Structure 1
């Protein structure tokens, strides 16, 4: 009996330490859309986590030829509550996924995206009502052109969006000052290949555009960007910044479909697809059972990458529970990282909301 108890104690301790190494993650209640969504709008308004839109395959799996459904439902949950529950709030103006959401002092700005009918130029603000008992939606100036599968970030309520699918295969950077609300400006295009599904973060003076891909054509192979470009917001100028740290085995890391956020001292990147597996897939170099593999087979990235602005130094925290998502949304709030929904493999979403607490202790 003593040996059995010792064994059980060691098992429990080993699991506890494993979780400690893994940020001791925990979860909020599952997102109310049963099978989860990918590429929703998501962000915080105060301590309320707002999630809306997104898409999934609710009836028949994608592997069996199912149809993708886009959603306009929007939900909120108070992360400070002792017993947090999701509450449905006002619907989005239309079903949408693959847009960008940016947290601002006025609320959550939702930009572009697409649905089953079209790509979009729409921009709107989810804001708290004056009585602070709910949320409402206000229309903002539209984008100069349609854009989806892009990435956006904000510096002092000045919003930037780039990458993704733009008209005429464009690579423009767009800027909108929410405080003045005078409309979108078109800034210099980023250099090099197109970057669909990249990550855009900032250090309050510079933008950092990480990863993304350019689709193949009949004449050319796909290009998966494994580097980061930098845009100086004072000089309005792009330049090369850094390679993305390789995988542990030396393989390139592209972060396509990944997610990012920033603190006052670091930017943080995670999630996204495997470089080689994804490149083969979009170039048609896969077998007939490609969509039916176990989620682990696709090797979605589960490392969390930190870049320290002051030290100009990377640190990588590998094998982090819940980060292996494509089309998930990464948020930083009250010293915690939140991973919102996303795909766990091509065509399969999850409703899980993963929280990694006490991130501040790792980025001092």
Structure 2
């Protein structure tokens, strides 16, 4: 079975983030004291739902959306789902969207204020906050991958407008990106159709990747679908997927930090929970405080490793039987992560909050967007193929 077909079936088609709202322009302004660092707490509420996209009659949720904040306004754009039925049971095709939804997040609520459209139907790209705009970088749909850099701004009435400002020297999706000192950095993902681990420091002025000989590739395997974030001059990459790996190693748990000034990588402690490797592939990451990051969502490592193995090695009746079994499993059996995993930067170790998120786990990829001490968990898969339209808001609280 070809890997592209596998990715379609699992709907964790290589991506990020992304969901990578990584930018040196973001200010978190989180309180810094010892009691807060020892026992952080995140209070979650359901903030609302994604509206119905144009030409459809219901909102079923999306994955792989572009998302970020301009001031107090949360923008969610693009993404994909399966509105025409399950790809295995009903041969439904994946649908990509161009809808842009703009929400006012003041008063701890989300209220839709305007609705627009991207010039393309796409998802699985990266989103960067640059001054008072968003840069939507790369992406893909069913027909093609994109090399575009689209600038999204809001007018005085908060209506979104878009402008194609540049083309990358290659198509790119399913990796992570950062904006640093006026340049765009692209990390790993799928470049011109091939999964890689390269880093491109793209200069919009020069319209090329610069310092290529000075910047080493992301250590370890080529990868996609990894949470990543820019924080205090470092760019952190957590795990991801490598579908060309050996049995039981498709889901990665290694972690790295890139220093933008030194142009060097540091190998960090691998992701663990109860001293066992733990997956955050398909999940997201946010800031707790200067010394702590929180990893949210992700596929179950054992279940997903087995699914990839079976889908790429079984044939005929055995393959059909496995698909029937796998896609019929419920949310609890698929077990996307509800854990809130904490990475301690200075100690270079891991812990977990005592509370799980009070709703279904997510992947697919999950979109995590942050403004100050508020974290937004936006839609995403709750099991392979099936999304939720819900948007949850988590407020980072200091210890009482």
1:224 equivalent among 251, 270, 295 = 251
Report SS of the residue matched to 1:192: coil
Aligned to 2:357: 320
2:230 is equivalent to residue 202 of structure 1: yes
1:299 equivalent among 314, 321, 335 = 335
Q: Distance in 2 between matches of 1:166 and 1:220?
A: 25
Aligned to 1:31: 50
Q: Distance in 1 between matches of 2:61 and 2:113?
A: 16
Post-superposition CA distance 1:34-80 (Å, at most 9, x none): 00101100111111110000000112123412110000111011011
Aligned to 2:66: 41
Q: Distance in 2 between matches of 1:346 and 1:133?
A: 35
Q: Distance in 2 between matches of 1:257 and 1:344?
A: 11
1:121 equivalent among 147, 160, 172 = 147
Cα distance change on mapping 1:80 and 1:117 into 2, 3 Å: same
Aligned to 1:50: 75
Report SS of the residue matched to 2:117: coil
**Following TM superposition, by how much is the alpha carbon of 1:90 offset from its aligned partner in structure 2, in angstroms?**
2.6
Post-superposition CA distance 1:72-110 (Å, at most 9, x none): 111011011587432443311100011111223231111
Post-superposition CA distance 1:200-231 (Å, at most 9, x none): 113222211111111137x8775322110121
Post-superposition CA distance 1:132-188 (Å, at most 9, x none): 54221122322222222212234466443212222343211123467x685544543
1:289 equivalent among 321, 325, 328 = 325
Aligned to 1:62: 87
2:380 is equivalent to residue 342 of structure 1: yes
**Following TM superposition, by how much is the alpha carbon of 1:114 offset from its aligned partner in structure 2, in angstroms?**
0.8
* Stretches of structure 1 lacking an aligned partner (at least 5 in a row): 1-20
Decide which moves more: 165-174 or 227-236.
Answer: 165-174
TM-score calculated relative to the size of structure 2: 0.77
Q: Distance in 2 between matches of 1:284 and 1:143?
A: 36
| Cα contact 1:48–1:77 (8 A) shared by 2 | yes
Cα distance change on mapping 1:30 and 1:139 into 2, 3 Å: same
Q: Distance in 1 between matches of 2:72 and 2:82?
A: 30
Aligned to 1:98: 124
Q: Distance in 2 between matches of 1:193 and 1:228?
A: 11
TM-score calculated relative to the size of structure 1: 0.84
Q: Distance in 1 between matches of 2:368 and 2:195?
A: 27
Cα distance change on mapping 1:314 and 1:323 into 2, 3 Å: farther
Residues paired across the two proteins, number: 337
| Cα contact 2:42–2:397 (8 A) shared by 1 | no
Report SS of the residue matched to 1:281: helix
Matches within 5 A, 1:82-93: 84-93=110-119
Aligned to 1:7: none
Cα distance change on mapping 1:35 and 1:157 into 2, 3 Å: farther
Structure having greater relative contact order (Cα 8 Å, sep ≥ 6): 2
2:379 is equivalent to residue 351 of structure 1: no
Q: Distance in 1 between matches of 2:141 and 2:231?
A: 32
Q: Distance in 2 between matches of 1:38 and 1:263?
A: 24
**Following TM superposition, by how much is the alpha carbon of 1:269 offset from its aligned partner in structure 2, in angstroms?**
1.3
* Stretches of structure 2 lacking an aligned partner (at least 5 in a row): 1-39, 53-58, 312-321
| Cα contact 1:49–1:77 (8 A) shared by 2 | yes
Q: Distance in 1 between matches of 2:242 and 2:126?
A: 19
Cα distance change on mapping 1:176 and 1:106 into 2, 3 Å: farther
Aligned to 2:14: none
Q: Distance in 2 between matches of 1:42 and 1:276?
A: 30
Report SS of the residue matched to 2:306: helix
| Cα contact 2:188–2:195 (8 A) shared by 1 | no
Cα distance change on mapping 1:200 and 1:177 into 2, 3 Å: farther
| Cα contact 1:175–1:184 (8 A) shared by 2 | yes
Q: Distance in 2 between matches of 1:166 and 1:305?
A: 30
Q: Distance in 2 between matches of 1:83 and 1:355?
A: 9
Report SS of the residue matched to 1:284: helix
Q: Distance in 2 between matches of 1:348 and 1:88?
A: 27
Q: Distance in 2 between matches of 1:261 and 1:133?
A: 26
